[in-house]
């Protein structure tokens, strides 16, 4: 298997595993309080869970910013994985009608956000070095949705669900804890300014919020109907959910083309059609059509904000935070529109809000270059060349020429020490001594840590 194919498989698997776990856990969380809490209290629980997910994303961003020890970061990640795995097992095997289930659900959600922060941060790093993350996101989402649909079409009727959850947990843990190698570093993006401006970040947030607005009304509306009918007459896991699969695959096809310049236009077209969601509620047929529009809008908004913030994140001072900003905004707007009971507003009022959001979106896209199909609207960060990167690391960490040679072998190949020592014509013990010196001088504790330093130096950080 080629290095490019291996990297694509790595990213596809990483995002598919996380998305499947996220969809599964959120579906399980929707049943918290079932059987003993009133409809109003269960809706409050739903919105409280959104707060806990946001907190998880923020905690990851904070630890990435404040904790510089690679070992400490890995330990925190392992802890989040362990708590998430234990909590998910409880949610799978314990009845929903208990206070214990409710408590466990609230403990799992911050871990979900923390793991999501790690995945989104990784995707932004891979985007910065030229990987096709739009394709990986689209394929990963499509696989996760198809798998979840098959396993959760009739809740509780599929005993193999725990098997797939366990497999996804193992895959996610392995891929998150294993630092990827072999990035397509020879694909140098066009030179661009290093730092994203406050104006770019503000416009990205406002446009993403406007996109999410088109799904917020229906999100609250359908969730209210689900709780009222006990997930029988109305259920988000019925056939219209499959509309997400072709939508995500379409965005996967265009997302990496010309640095995603067609994504804003495609997302805007879907938002225009999705405006009908405020008036299609009068019959069963209208309901199903509304569901299809809802899922098209979800795919459009998620793709837009993910790709936008992944491309901007590495050009900010807080990349871990901005990589997840789209997902944070999504949960925050779901919370906000739920608390103000947007779904209870008259259809005319909701349609007015949608039109206003659409107008704001068009203006912001125009001003920010979202409709510019010739110039780079979202330029990638400028990267140092391979030689310049090693020269900078040599100077920064006062490396000897031989240590620099060893460093090159460690970060650019996956070869074992015996192979590297033979290629450099030195003894294995001598190579181990150089590796120890590299760890001491750079502060890294593993080979993957050296790779992270190399990628950060290439990004000018």
Residue 435 tokens read as 């590796």
Q: What is the DSSP letter of 257?
A: G
Express the helix, strand and coil content of the chain in percent, nearest 5 each.
75, 0, 25
pLDDT reported for residue 230: 58
Count of Cβ atoms closer than 10 Å to residue 418 Cβ: 10
CA distance 178 to 176: 6
Contact 309, 319 (CB under 8 A): no
CA distance 129 to 188: 8
Residue 304 tokens read as 């837009």
CATH 1.20.1250.20 maps onto the chain at 3-182+193-368
pLDDT reported for residue 461: 65
pLDDT reported for residue 199: 86
Mean pLDDT of 239-250: 88
pLDDT reported for residue 193: 44
pLDDT reported for residue 60: 96
pLDDT reported for residue 326: 92
Please indicate whether residue 326 or residue 290 has the higher confidence score (pLDDT). Answer: 326
Mean pLDDT of 383-398: 85
pLDDT reported for residue 174: 92
Residue 221 has pLDDT above 70, yes or no: no
Contact 151, 158 (CB under 8 A): yes
CA distance 425 to 403: 14
Contact 263, 251 (CB under 8 A): yes
pLDDT reported for residue 264: 84
pLDDT-derived band of residue 417, with 50, 70 and 90 as boundaries?
confident
Mean pLDDT of 214-239: 61
For 257, phi then psi, to 5°, come to -80, 125
3-state class (DSSP) for residue 216: helix
Query: Chain-centre distance of CA 180, in angstroms?
Result: 17
For 153, phi then psi, to 5°, come to -60, -40
pLDDT reported for residue 189: 40
pLDDT-derived band of residue 460, with 50, 70 and 90 as boundaries?
low
Residue 341 has pLDDT above 90, yes or no: no
Contact 398, 304 (CB under 8 A): no
Say what percent of the chain tops pLDDT 70: 82
HSE, side-chain direction, 13 A CA sphere, residue 82: 6
Q: Average pLDDT over the chain, rounded to whole? A: 81
Residue 322 has pLDDT above 50, yes or no: yes
Residue 200 has pLDDT above 50, yes or no: yes
Count of Cβ atoms closer than 10 Å to residue 332 Cβ: 16
Closest by CA to 237, choosing from 224, 255, 222, 252, is: 222
Residue 249 has pLDDT above 90, yes or no: yes
Mean pLDDT of 270-288: 67
Mean pLDDT of 357-364: 82
Query: Burial letters for 424-442: b for 16+ Cβ neighbours within 10 Å, e otherwise?
Result: bebeeeebeebbebbeebb
The residue assigned the tokens 């403990």 is 107
CATH 1.10.10.10 maps onto the chain at 386-458
Domain 3-182+193-368 = CATH 1.20.1630.10: no
Residue 161 has pLDDT above 60, yes or no: yes
Give pLDDT tens digits for 57-110.
999 999 998 988 888 888 999 999 999 999 999 998 887 778 898 899 999 999
pLDDT reported for residue 167: 94
Residue 206 tokens read as 């406002």
DSSP 148-196: HHHHHSSTT--TTHHHHHHHHHHHHHHHHHSPP----TTSPPPP--SSP
Closest by CA to 295, choosing from 314, 274, 316, 315, is: 274
What CATH code is assigned to 386-458? 1.10.10.10
Give pLDDT tens digits for 123-139.
999 988 888 899 999 99
pLDDT-derived band of residue 157, with 50, 70 and 90 as boundaries?
very low
Q: Which ranges in 275-371 belong to alpha helices (H)?
A: 284-313, 319-323, 325-339, 347-368
Mean pLDDT of 409-431: 88
pLDDT-derived band of residue 188, with 50, 70 and 90 as boundaries?
very low
Residue 370 has pLDDT above 60, yes or no: yes
Residue 365 has pLDDT above 60, yes or no: yes
Most distant CA atoms of the chain, gap in Å: 78
Say what percent of the chain tops pLDDT 90: 28
Mean pLDDT of 393-411: 90
The beta-strand segments (E) located in 206-269 are none
CA distance 114 to 60: 5
pLDDT reported for residue 263: 85
Residue 277 has pLDDT above 90, yes or no: no
Count of Cβ atoms closer than 10 Å to residue 176 Cβ: 20
pLDDT reported for residue 180: 44
pTM flag (> 0.85): no
């Amino acid at each position: 298997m080629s290095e490019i194919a291996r990297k694509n498989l790595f990213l596809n698997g990483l995002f598919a595993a996380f998305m499947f776990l996220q969809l599964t856990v959120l579906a399980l969380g929707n049943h918290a309080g079932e059987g003993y809490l009133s409809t109003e209290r269960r809706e409050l629980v739903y919105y409280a869970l959104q707060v806990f997910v946001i907190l998880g994303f923020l905690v990851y961003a904070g630890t990435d910013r404040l904790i510089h020890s690679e070992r400490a970061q890995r330990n925190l990640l392992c802890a989040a994985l362990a708590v998430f795995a234990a909590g998910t097992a409880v949610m799978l095997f314990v009845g929903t009608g208990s206070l214990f289930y409710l408590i466990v659900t609230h403990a799992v959600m911050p871990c979900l956000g923390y793991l999501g922060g790690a995945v989104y941060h990784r995707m932004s790093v891979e985007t910065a070095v030229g990987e096709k993350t739009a394709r990986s996101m689209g394929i990963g989402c499509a696989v996760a949705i198809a798998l979840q649909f098959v396993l959760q079409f009739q809740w509780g009727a599929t005993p193999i669900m725990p098997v797939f959850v366990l497999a996804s947990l193992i895959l996610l843990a392995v891929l998150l804890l294993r630092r990827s190698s072999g990035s397509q570093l020879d694909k140098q993006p066009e030179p661009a300014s290093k730092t994203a401006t406050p104006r770019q970040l503000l416009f990205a947030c406002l446009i993403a919020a406007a996109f999410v607005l088109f799904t917020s009304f229906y999100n609250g509306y359908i969730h209210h109907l689900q709780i009222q009918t006990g997930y029988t007459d109305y259920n988000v896991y019925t056939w219209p959910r499959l509309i997400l699969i072709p939508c995500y695959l379409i965005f996967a096809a265009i997302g990496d083309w010309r640095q995603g310049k067609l994504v804003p236009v495609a997302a805007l077209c879907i938002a225009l059609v999705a405006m009908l969601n405020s008036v299609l509620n009068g019959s069963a047929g209208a309901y199903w059509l509304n569901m299809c529009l809802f899922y098209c809008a979800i795919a459009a908004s998620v793709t837009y904000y993910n790709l936008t913030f992944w491309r901007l994140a590495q050009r900010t001072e807080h990349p871990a935070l901005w990589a997840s900003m789209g997902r944070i905004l999504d949960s925050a707007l779901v919370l906000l529109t739920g608390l103000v009971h947007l779904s209870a507003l008259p259809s005319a009022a909701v349609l007015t809000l949608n039109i206003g959001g659409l107008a704001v979106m068009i203006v912001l896209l125009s001003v920010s270059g979202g409709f510019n199909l010739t110039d780079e609207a979202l330029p990638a960060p400028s990267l140092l060349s391979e030689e310049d990167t090693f020269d900078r690391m040599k100077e920064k960490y006062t490396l000897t020429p031989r240590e620099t040679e060893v460093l090159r072998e460690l970060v650019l190949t996956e070869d074992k020490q015996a192979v590297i020592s033979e290629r450099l014509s030195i003894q294995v013990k001598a190579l181990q001594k150089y590796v120890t010196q590299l760890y001491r001088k750079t502060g890294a504790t593993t080979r993957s840590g050296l790779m992270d330093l190399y990628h950060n130096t290439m990004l000018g950080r």
